[in-house]
Structure 1
Amino acid sequence: MKTFLCLCALVAIAFALPEDKYTDKYDKIDVDELLSNRRLLIPYIKCILDEGKCSADGRELKSHLEEALENDCAKCTDAQKKGTKKVIRHLINNEPDYWSQIVAKYDPEHKYSVKFEEEYKNH
């Protein structure tokens, strides 16, 4: 019986799931290209604001946005963390009206957005 329990424990350790992360399927998206082209950027913004159609990657982004803001992107890959910082900085400094709408929808109590605004405003 001891042998069986030890075997079960070893199997559980061997097949333990890695830390829960968001999919890395979209990590290769060129964030700089997206931010430099409003024709590409605005549909993503409209998607997360429920004002337009969502592409598959837009739906993925939208499904994790609130949790990522709340948890400082804890489940994000390194590429996602880097891209998130770029996007937030861009929205704060170049699309303040859209940033305000996103904050109103996903952080109405300004629990998380203030930190981003202090860190990224005009930087």
Structure 2
Amino acid sequence: MKGAIVFCLLAVATIAVARPEDKYTDRYDNTNVQEIIDNDKLFEAYVKCVLEKGKCTADGKELKSHITDALENDCSKCTDPQKDGVRLVIKHLVNKEPAIWEELCAKYDPKKVYASKYEKELKEVTA
């Protein structure tokens, strides 16, 4: 299982503390989100963190603390690299890790108010 933020996982390690201009910190903007997704062990650790099934690093705790706010506000406090990271992670989850995606949705968006938007937008069409 690939072990991420999401939702938005969701830009995995990119969402963190709010800055004075009402944006999350850009401290993690240079994080290579694709590298995290491609590393099964690392990705799994982030997933376990945000699902409260494992230990969290400091950046994992920051990510987890902002998932709900980012979902409810369409990532309005996210920087552009964070928004790109969120989309990358969600696209990966929706298309490659549906069981993890469903588990994250059950925890952070049980009514799928926000998740359905991402699913429609990021689901790869297979024909």
TM-score class, shorter: 0.7 to 0.9
Partner of 1:116: 118
Among 93, 101, 104, the residue aligned to 1:102: 104
- Secondary structure class of the residue paired with 2:83: helix
Distance 1:49 1:32 in 2: 20
Distance 1:74 1:113 in 2: 16
Q: Which has the higher contact order (CA 8 A, sep 6+)?
A: 2
* Number of matched pairs: 107
Partner of 2:93: 91
RMSD: 1.3
User: TM-score, normalising length from structure 1?
Assistant: 0.83
Identity %: 55
| Structure 1 alignment gaps of length 5 or more | 1-16
User: TM-score, normalising length from structure 2?
Assistant: 0.81
Q: Does 1:79 align with 2:81?
A: yes
Partner of 1:57: 59
Distance 1:104 1:114 in 2: 12
Structure 1 segments of 4 or more deviating over 6 A?
none
| Structure 2 alignment gaps of length 5 or more | 1-18
Q: How does 1:35-54 map to 2 (within 5 A)?
A: 35-54=37-56
Distance 1:111 1:19 in 2: 27
- Secondary structure class of the residue paired with 1:108: coil
CA offset digits 1:68-107 (Å, max 9, x no partner): 0111100001110010000000011111111000000000
Structure label with greater radius of gyration: 1
Partner of 2:34: 32
Distance 1:76 1:69 in 2: 11
Offset of residue 19 of structure 1:
2.7
Offset of residue 44 of structure 1:
0.4
